[in-house]
Amino acid sequence: MTSYHTSREIRKLPRLPLEGKLDITYRCNNNCRHCWVNLPAESDVRSQELSSGAIISIVDQARRMGCRHWFLSGGEPMLRADFSDILEYITDRSSSYTLNTNGTLITPKIARLLRRKGSKMVALYGADAEVHDHITRVPGSFEAFMRGIRYLKEAGAHFTVQIIPMKDNFHQYHDMIRLAESLSSYWRIGAAWLFLSPEGDTERNREIKRQRLSSDIVVELDKPDLVQEEAALSERSVGQTFLSATEGLYAACISNRRSFYVNPYGRMTFCEFVRDPDLMYDLRGGSIAEGWEQFIPSLSCKIKADDEYLENCGDCQLTVDCRWCPVYGYLEHGRHTARVQYLCEIARENKMFKDNYRRNHRRYYQIAGLKIQLESDLPIKADTFHAKFRGFESSEGDGDKIIIRHHFGIPVHEELLPEEVVYDKPPWIIYRRNNSWIYVIGSSSDGGRSPSQVARFNYDHTRAEIFNSESLKERFIQGDVKSLTMFPTDQVLLARLLANREGCYLHSSGVIIDGKGLAFVGHSGAGKTTIAEILKGCAEILSDDRIIIRKLNDGVRIFGTWSHGDLPDVSCASAPTQAIMFLRKSGMNRIERIDDRFISVRNILDCVIKPFVTGDWWDNILQLIHEIALSVPVFNLYFDGSSKVKATLEEFLEQTG
């Protein structure tokens, strides 16, 4: 029985409140020099904070509308006596959560609760008590932090150490990293630039400004993600986020956002950085549904672009390089349209970083109609990749783009990997995680369990982040790298991609003679290199070992690849496929057509290069090979290994036109 289904690509999610962000208190037991929100632990505002019952009601309302992830922060959320009850309720009704804490109030009971699935960010302000306590302005806070970390480790709760850099601790930056690595398998750098407090506290803001790092250090710590930025820009025109006087400055942000924020006093808005009371909805007298469906959309046109904006940020050439947002203008100056000079300085550094990155960290290649955008954290030099790739180098341009990004340093295994294993054959282990694939490449000596690479692909393998070991880093620096992925062969990736594009790799040599493509197919020892060497003077050699065949609108074409055998000649050229010829060793040269389509399909399939295969890959390849066998004549070429085969092929081409 055959079943049918239809599918439709959804390019934009419905506007649903999928994530909730909740500060359950602004009070904190620390008094950090950089902090823009904290209030004293015993502040009178405690009586104004949402009760646990009110928070439970908010969580329930949001869940009914689709919210499945919560971000909990403060202040220090554990200052509340009912913190454990709140966290337990939220985690029972969410798929995951994120918690920000300074770690000093963690108890063994809380540590056990934090074993629940979620991200726990524990802030580190110094590599020793002297610096850490200087930042927090609370003696003993470093000792309390270390005690909290100990409780988490004893309970078996995974957590991330979040390093908070600023001027007074930056001299310990590398020491803080080393400490973080000794405490947890996970660590990250927190916000690299600091926000001012909108409360008008002159002394607090003076100290925050003093703690701000220079713009070049900010960019070094928080490098712009060009791939992500360019993807966003491709879906909108430059400057669309903040438009003209006719549209509100927050319109695009609100339209694209799938999260909301609630402050400790029950005021709801679209972003945790919003501090303008006019942009907040009082949940004590309303509901999450009304706030999400009516109030927040009404803010889209609330703040218009005025002359201050149009003459400054609205007319700036660095818009795409700047982190400015109206919320930051309000935090800095109390005006949504105000320019933030500190961000102007960072924008100039951002632009210089991007220009340098495009020149020295990005290259383009083309193969079989695919455009490969290759990126690397390390500079890409003229000799980084093997000379065989030079003929495949390309300019940016348009096209079917594949993005490969190289990082150096293997992430913690559990950070990327789920439990589902879909392939396990050393040295490869492949996992499926939601809409992505994780490839782990190990050494054969230990069954592939010690990764030399961990690669993360999106669902259709068009985006790849590849994390390389120290040994591969050294190889990259030395140069002459033989594959763009740094896998044993790029065919592992390209064969997957081609199957979705009516194409495949063949174990074949290929040539172009008078604009006609010939594929000489066979396994090792069949004579592929020999025939390519014989034809070298009168044909363009595409490769002596691997070629690509694709079915395009104008017919089936043959393409060259950089995967070669003993003959180093390769070409990115392509041509209509005149014939597919299976090499058969013989005492004389002759060509014999294969009229049985079943035999043609079987022989071609036998020589298709197979990556990690799935059911959809087989469906695509079987359909493709049947169509190739219908469209392209298939022959046996009986080959004696001598140059006499040239005459045989010349006669064949004359006869077939």
Whole-angstrom distance, CA of residue 352 vs CA of residue 365: 24
- For residues 105 and 40, state if they share a domain: yes
- For residues 366 and 356, state if they share a domain: no
Whole-angstrom distance, CA of residue 379 vs CA of residue 476: 10
271-287 per-position pLDDT tens digit: 999 999 999 999 999 99
User: Which is higher by pLDDT, 5 or 573?
Assistant: 573
Q: pLDDT at residue 9 above 80? A: no
- For residues 347 and 367, state if they share a domain: no
Task: Please give the average per-residue pLDDT across 621-642, as a whole number.
Answer: 96
Task: Using pLDDT thresholds of 50, 70 and 90, give the confidence band for residue 419.
Answer: low
Whole-angstrom distance, CA of residue 588 vs CA of residue 394: 43
Q: Report yes or no on 629 lying in a domain.
A: yes
Q: Report yes or no on 329 lying in a domain.
A: yes
Whole-structure pTM value = 0.86
478-487 per-position pLDDT tens digit: 999 999 999 9
Write down the pLDDT at residue 11: 56
Whole-angstrom distance, CA of residue 186 vs CA of residue 104: 19
Strands 400-408 and 463-468 come out as parallel
Write down the pLDDT at residue 237: 44
Q: Report yes or no on 75 lying in a domain.
A: yes
Looking at the DSSP bridge assignments, the partners of residue 22 are: 72, 262
- For residues 347 and 423, state if they share a domain: no
Q: Report yes or no on 14 lying in a domain.
A: no
Write down the pLDDT at residue 295: 98
Write down the pLDDT at residue 449: 55
Q: Report yes or no on 288 lying in a domain.
A: no
Q: Which amino acid is located at 395 in the chain?
A: S
Name the domain boundary from 447, 462, 488: 488
| Residue from 71, 111, 78, 547 nearest 272 by CA | 71
Mean pLDDT score of the chain: 92
**Percent of the chain's residues with pLDDT above 90:** 84
Q: Lowest-pLDDT range, 159-173, 316-330, 336-350, 443-457? A: 443-457
31-73 per-position pLDDT tens digit: 999 999 989 999 999 999 999 999 999 999 999 999 999 999 9
What CATH number does the domain containing 146 carry?
3.20.20.70
Q: Report yes or no on 65 lying in a domain.
A: yes
Whole-angstrom distance, CA of residue 345 vs CA of residue 197: 20
Write down the pLDDT at residue 448: 47
Whole-angstrom distance, CA of residue 134 vs CA of residue 148: 19
Q: Report yes or no on 117 lying in a domain.
A: yes
Q: Lowest-pLDDT range, 393-407, 520-534, 585-599? A: 393-407
Q: Report yes or no on 337 lying in a domain.
A: yes
Q: Domain of 348?
A: 215-249+303-360
Instruction: Check if the beta carbon of residue 101 is closer than 8 Å to that of residue 25.
Output: no
Name the domain boundary from 329, 360, 391: 360
Whole-angstrom distance, CA of residue 518 vs CA of residue 581: 7
CA 222-401-607 angle, to 5 degrees, is: 125
Write down the pLDDT at residue 159: 96
Name the domain boundary from 433, 461, 488: 488
Q: Which amino acid is located at 550 in the chain?
A: R
Our separate counts of H helices and E strands in the chain read 22, 28
380-416 per-position pLDDT tens digit: 999 999 999 999 999 987 778 999 999 998 876 444 5
- For residues 355 and 337, state if they share a domain: yes
- For residues 274 and 393, state if they share a domain: no
- For residues 538 and 528, state if they share a domain: yes
- The total number of structural domains in the chain stands at 4
- For residues 438 and 539, state if they share a domain: no
Residue 513: phi, psi to the nearest 5?
A: -125, 120
Running DSSP on this structure, what letter comes out for residue 319?
G
- For residues 274 and 183, state if they share a domain: yes
- For residues 68 and 201, state if they share a domain: yes
How many C-beta atoms surround the C-beta of residue 617 within 10 A?
18
**Percent of the chain's residues with pLDDT above 70:** 94
Write down the pLDDT at residue 227: 86
Whole-angstrom distance, CA of residue 504 vs CA of residue 621: 7
| Residue from 511, 556, 516, 559 nearest 370 by CA | 559
Whole-angstrom distance, CA of residue 504 vs CA of residue 406: 25
Q: pLDDT at residue 245 above 50? A: no
Task: Please give the average per-residue pLDDT across 507-529, as a whole number.
Answer: 96
Looking at the DSSP bridge assignments, the partners of residue 558 are: 549, 575
- For residues 525 and 649, state if they share a domain: yes
Task: Please give the average per-residue pLDDT across 198-207, as a whole number.
Answer: 89
| Residue from 371, 360, 437, 359 nearest 398 by CA | 371
Whole-angstrom distance, CA of residue 441 vs CA of residue 489: 12
- For residues 96 and 138, state if they share a domain: yes
Write down the pLDDT at residue 246: 62
Q: pLDDT at residue 573 above 70? A: yes
What CATH number does the domain containing 545 carry?
3.90.228.20
